Amino acid sequence: MRVICSPDWQRKLQQKAGKLQFETNFWGTVNVTKAILPYFRKQQFGQIITVSSMMGLISLPMHPIYAASKHALEGFFESLRFEVSQFNIKVSMVEPMWAKTNIGKNMIAVDGNISEYRNYKEQVNHYIKNGLANGEEPSVIVDKIIKVINTKNPKFRNIVGKMAGMVLFLNNYAYPMFENTIHKSVRSAK
C-alpha cells in the first residue's frame, strides 16, 4: 500500500511533532519545576538542576525544533535563577555534548522528509550517530550533577563532554570557524 500525503497534511504532521517535542523538552521540565517551587520558597532554600543539552547553547543541522526547545529551557532557567535567588534557591543547568544514550533511537523527525534534504539528512544522521557512539558514558554526566549538588554556589552552566568547551568557545567567538567545522564534520561522517 502506498500513502500519498498532501503538503498541508505533512505541514500539520510536522507541527504536531514539533509541539510534542516542546511539550516534552520544555513544558514538561517547566511544569515539574513550577510544582516544586512553592515548597522551596516556603522553606527558603532548594536546588534545581536541569539536564539539558549543548543543543541549548549551539545548534546543529536538521534538528531546529529540538535545538529551539533546548534554547527555550536555557532562557527559562536563566531567568528563573535571578527570580529565586532571593529565596536561597540555586538553579543550574547541566549541558552534555554527546552521551552514549538512546536519544538517537528516540529522536522525532520533524522535517517532513523534504526530498531535497535526503542526502544531507543521511550525512547528518551519520554525524550524530558517530557523536553519540563516541560520547561520554552517562556516569560522567551523573558525576557532573553530583559535583553541582555538592558545590556551595554552583555556576549556572555546567557543560559536559569531550571538546565541549572548545565547541562552545568557537560558537560564541569564532562562529565562521564553528560553522565550517560542523559542515566539514557532517560531510566526512560515515
What digits encode the pLDDT tens for the residues 23-49? 999 999 999 999 999 999 999 999 999
Distance CA 59, CA 64 (A): 7
Of all residues in the chain, the percent with pLDDT exceeding 90 is 45
Task: Note whether residue 104 is domain-resident.
Answer: yes
Decide if 91 is inside a domain.
yes
Q: Per the structure, how many domains does the chain have?
A: 1
Query: pLDDT averaged over the chain?
Result: 86
Does residue 101 sit within a domain? yes
d(CA 86, CA 184): 46
Note down the domain range covering 29.
7-188
Distance set, CA 175 to CA 7, 21, 158 (Å): 35, 27, 21
Would residue 57 count as lying in a domain?
A: yes
Asked whether residue 2 is domain-assigned, the answer is no
| pLDDT per residue as tens digits for the range 116-147 | 878 888 888 888 888 888 888 899 999 999 99
Which of 153-157, 163-167, 179-183 ranks highest by mean pLDDT? 153-157
- Annotated catalytic sites, by residue? 66
Check which CATH number belongs to the domain holding 120 and give it. 3.40.50.720
| Residue 135 domain-assigned (yes or no) | yes
User: What pTM did the predictor assign?
Assistant: 0.85
Distance set, CA 58 to CA 26, 45, 70, 182 (Å): 17, 31, 9, 11
Q: What is the pLDDT of residue 118?
A: 81
1 belongs to a structural domain:
no
For residue 27, is it within any domain? yes
